[in-house]
Amino acid sequence: MNFEWLGRQSDNIVFLLGWHVLLAVIPLILGLLIALPLGWWAHRSRRIYPLLVGVAGLLYTVPSLALFVLLPLVLGTKILDPLNIVAALTIYTVALLVRVVADALESVPEDTVQAAKAMGYRGYQSLLKVELPVGVPVISAGLRVAAVSNVSLVSVAALLGIPQLGSLFTQGFQLRFFTPIIAGIVLCVVLAMILDGLIILLNRWLTPWTPKVVAS
């Protein structure tokens, strides 16, 4: 471990870290926003559910590097445009979360949904004020998986030369110098843990009503 090198490179590392955060978090938010209506649609219709969940599963199996290379052709962007990464990771996030949102809505007790309807909630009111809030724990569990997955997928973009923590890996391999590689791995893990922790906190803040489980 060459700490002197780390000290000299700290500005660059912070710059890479900043990009890494942006490239992981923006798709996470966009993906959730897109997955919400799609998940609702899948939940509403028995015929749509297997179709949407099936397509989502297929999308997730497309290798990330292939998607990074193919997307510029579809979107008409340049190969080095970070937008490609955002688009690709948004697709992965949606693929993960469509099923999660549908299952979250499915997890709401039938009695609760019926009560909301019988008390005069209109369809959208029931969805926004009852079903989604009650489904938050399931959605945040899925969101945690997507967040960690995004942090690790972003680093693949290094192969295209888009700056983020993955660039430390390529740099280290080219120079046969392990310090940047170790720094990159540590920062990726820490970033994943921080995002995970933030989602846990957000979930706790949104669901003061869940039974407090005593850790065993």
Residue ranges in contact with other proteins by CB under 8 A: 109, 111-112, 114-122, 125, 130, 133-134, 207-211
Q: Nearer to other proteins by C-beta: 63 or 208?
A: 208
Tokens linked to 109: 């007790």
Q: Nearer to other proteins by C-beta: 126 or 164?
A: 126
The least CB distance from residue 146 to other proteins, in Å, is 23
CA dihedral 42→47→52→57, nearest 10 degrees, is 120
The span from the CA of 44 to the CA of 106, in Å, is 9
Q: Nearer to other proteins by C-beta: 56 or 130?
A: 130
The least CB distance from residue 209 to other proteins, in Å, is 4
Closest CA to 43 of 107, 92, 90, 94: 107
Q: Nearer to other proteins by C-beta: 47 or 122?
A: 122
The least CB distance from residue 145 to other proteins, in Å, is 23
3-class secondary-structure state, position 162: coil
The least CB distance from residue 24 to other proteins, in Å, is 29
Amino acid at 95: A
Amino acid at 50: P
Q: Is 101 exposed, middle or buried (0-12, 13-18, 19+ CB in 10 A)?
A: buried
Q: Nearer to other proteins by C-beta: 94 or 108?
A: 108
Polymer length in residues for the chain: 216
CB atoms closer than 10 angstroms to residue 149? 19
The least CB distance from residue 125 to other proteins, in Å, is 8
